[in-house]
Amino acid sequence: MKSVALHSKLTRVLFKGFTIILFFAISLSSYSQDIDEARQKEGRSLFKSLCASCHKLDKKLVGPALAGVEERRDNAWLKAWIKNNAELRASGDRDAVAIFEEYNGSPMTAFPQLVDQQIDDILYYTTVGDPKAAVVAGEEGVVKNTAEAPGWLIYILAAAIIVAFLIIANLLKTISELKGAPKSQGTLANLNDVWEGFKQNTFLKVLCVIFLLLMAVYVGFGTLFKVGVDEGYSPLQPIAFSHKIHAGDNKIDCQYCHSSAKHSKHSGIPSVNVCMNCHKNISEVAEDTKIEWDGITYGKAELDKEIAKVYEAAGWDVDNLEYTGNTKPVKWVRVHNLPDFVYFNHSQHVTVAGLECQKCHGPVEEMDEMRQFSPLTMGWCIDCHKETKVDLKGNEYYKKIHDELAKKYNVDEVTIAQLGGKECGKCHY
Amino acid sequence: MKNLKLIIALVTLTSLISCNDKRKPQVQYMPDMYESVPYDANGANGINGKPVNREPVVGTLVRGGYPSYDIADTPEGYEKAKAEVLNPLEASEVTLEKGKVMYEIYCSSCHGEKGDGNGVLSQREKFSGIPNYKDRDINAGSIYHVIMYGKNLMGSHASQLTYNERWQIVHYVEKLRTDLLVQ
């Protein structure tokens, strides 16, 4: 085994080394085709910082796609346009007015601060494009094989172990019989003997009844206590939206999307226009994005289709970059749902108490698929209300009553429960 | 015989475990006390089977609210806002504090904590070309206009913020811009 492992490791190293050498050979040869790397880099960084908010190389964005723009327009015209397009338009240049009209009269920002050399670098970058991405071929095949075992495998393993035990027991029995032990009369007869003995033993009977009763009570209560408690509930959503990518990797604040949590009873599901604030620009995910969804790993191909679902809901025409007005709702499935006989208000907890969302919803920024983290039972609410101290600073209006409460309970800081947060009528009315 | 019992036991055990399906909600005791009679927010079936959340009638004014922003989303509208619209709030410490909180939720992902256009989304190259506030000639009116309608790649943030919150952000953005210009 060891030598095989070593061997495969060696091959892997050799293979990797080979691909890297191959890669360098290729990239070197491609760079030797007179691309001025310094100018390309300079142009790229200028483009990214100044132009990329409205232009892409290969796609229309707010403004036109810029790849190969040098072939379409005269260099002097481009410089005049970039430095001050309003002036160029005012001078009556026909091309300038035409492109302005084509983009519905939205003016481009003027860049008088750019010198000719910088503009040339940007134009150079639009012509030669991005440096070749450093993707090492074969890398993908080498890693992996670390996926977790699926659930059904565990059952099969358990069954295999039980079967193995039975076989071993049988073998042991046969061996002892061969060694000269008296041959037993088969399992059935043995069981019969045990049953006869059991029927005559009152103590054993009582013991069994007690055991069964306890089992029944345990199972019964366990089942009853789960009624209406949806901890771990994770319905399949219509769009494979990963909180991990949005809130975890990209660090977007929870309230950016759940914006009504600060003022309203509900934290709210964001409407699609909020998605479009970013996804108007981001129509595809990065190359190496992966999420776990319904037991399957979604890669770039699948996730781009999920973004397309947002466009469909918003009625966004990706090719012409405009809204068609043909919208349809996204039918998200509600995860957290308190019974109607409980009053709960998000703003009280988010704005007034200043709680982190994670306190109740758990590490959402690590979840690809959203699930209910807390049991949301009454006991769970009360536990927190008993422990949590109230921050009474800057609340002069109620200072007197707060002081009196602290004196009454003989504490420095009162808890929510002492402030009345345990009274039935606070939540049930 | 013995094997048969074993199999039955195994099957019952598996079915008991698989009852715990995370895709399905648990049984409810007396569901009529769980399900509300009034419509739930975001519900799918409201009046006439349409979704519960409807857009208000055009021109609706919130009780105690403010007149809707009536400058058009055009380049001329932008210039008009820049020339005419003024911040109704005072730039007090409290306003700036609140503006900072809102800014960090709604703006800093792209524009960066300091307003230099270097937010997380910019660093991760999800968005590029986000301007530094000091490079743009902006004032209260134009900032408010852009929050209402968006500009270029930025979308409208009117639906996520209230009237006061928008103006608090405007104050904070102006402060950030001043700080950047001083440096």
The answer to whether residue B90 is domain-embedded is yes
ipTM above 0.90, yes or no: no
Look up the CATH number of the domain holding residue A62: 1.10.760.10
Question: Domain range spanning residue A82?
Answer: 37-144
**Amino acid letter, residue A151:** G
Taking a C-beta distance cutoff of 8 angstroms, is the pair A108, A62 a contact? no
Neighbours of A325 (CB within 10 A): 6
Which residues in chain A touch residue B153, judged by CB atoms under 8 angstroms apart? 53-54, 61-62, 280-281
Which residues in chain B touch residue A341, judged by CB atoms under 8 angstroms apart? 33-34
The answer to whether residue A310 is domain-embedded is yes
Whether chain B has a CB inside 8 Å of the CB on A207: the answer is: no
The answer to whether residue A419 is domain-embedded is no
Model confidence at A96, in pLDDT bands (50, 70, 90)?
A: confident
| Domain count of the fold of chain A | 3
The answer to whether residue B26 is domain-embedded is no
Closest residue, chain B, to A109 (C-alpha): B136
Same domain, A140 and A154: no
Look up the CATH number of the domain holding residue B105: 1.10.760.10
- Per DSSP, helices labelled H in chain B are 2-18, 75-84, 93-106, 108-111, 120-123, 140-149, 163-182
% of chain A residues with pLDDT over 70: 86
Out of B105, B128, B150, name the one closest to residue A52 (CB): B128
Same domain, A21 and A60: no
The answer to whether residue A427 is domain-embedded is no
The answer to whether residue A399 is domain-embedded is no
Same domain, A154 and A280: no
Q: Is the pLDDT of residue A156 over 80?
A: yes
Q: Is the pLDDT of residue A143 over 70?
A: no
Question: Domain range spanning residue B113?
Answer: 75-182
Its pTM stands at 0.72
Neighbours of A233 (CB within 10 A): 21
pLDDT at B173: 94
Model confidence at A188, in pLDDT bands (50, 70, 90)?
A: low
Select from A249, A251, A306, A240 the least CA-distant residue to A279.
A306
Which of A195, A258, A278 would best serve as a mutation to test chain B binding (most B beta carbons within 10 A)? A278
**Amino acid letter, residue B64:** G
Burial A285-318 (b: 16+ CB within 10 A, else e): beeebebebeeeebeeebbeebbeebbebbebee
pLDDT at B142: 93
The number of angstroms, rounded, from the C-alpha of B179 to the middle of its chain's C-alpha atoms is: 26
Same domain, A254 and A375: yes
Same domain, A22 and A164: yes
- Per DSSP, helices labelled H in A130-201 are 139-142, 151-178, 186-200
Å between A139 CA and nearest CA of chain B: 23
Out of B1, B26, B153, name the one closest to residue A281 (CB): B153
Which residues in chain A touch residue B163, judged by CB atoms under 8 angstroms apart? none
Model confidence at A135, in pLDDT bands (50, 70, 90)?
A: very low
> What is the C-alpha end-to-end distance of chain B, expressed in Å?
87
Model confidence at B149, in pLDDT bands (50, 70, 90)?
A: very high
Mean pLDDT comparison of A22-26, B67-71, B76-80, highest-scoring range: B76-80
Least confident of A253-257, A387-391, B97-101: A387-391
- pLDDT, tens digit (0-9, with 9 covering 90-100), for A206-248: 999 999 999 999 999 888 888 888 888 999 999 999 999 999 9
The answer to whether residue B34 is domain-embedded is no
Neighbours of A423 (CB within 10 A): 10
Question: pLDDT: is A13 or A236 the higher one?
Answer: A236
User: What's the mean per-residue pLDDT of chain A?
Assistant: 81
Q: Is the dihedral of CA A56, A59, A64, A66 positive or negative?
A: positive
Same domain, A316 and A338: yes
The answer to whether residue A156 is domain-embedded is yes
A271 vs B75: CB contact, 8 Å cut-off?
Answer: no
| Domain count of the fold of chain B | 1
Closest residue, chain B, to A229 (C-alpha): B26
Closest residue, chain A, to B117 (C-alpha): A49
What value does the mean pLDDT take over residues A77-83? 81
**Three-class DSSP category at A58:** coil
Closest residue, chain B, to A191 (C-alpha): B2
pLDDT at A142: 38
The answer to whether residue A429 is domain-embedded is no
- pLDDT, tens digit (0-9, with 9 covering 90-100), for A41-69: 888 877 877 787 778 777 777 778 888 78
- pLDDT, tens digit (0-9, with 9 covering 90-100), for A293-334: 988 899 988 999 999 999 999 999 888 888 898 988 898 999
The answer to whether residue A350 is domain-embedded is yes
The answer to whether residue B41 is domain-embedded is no
Out of A162, A252, A339, name the one closest to residue B33 (CB): A339
Q: Which of A224, A251, A278 is the last residue of a domain?
A: A224
Q: Is the pLDDT of residue A104 over 50?
A: yes
pLDDT at B30: 81
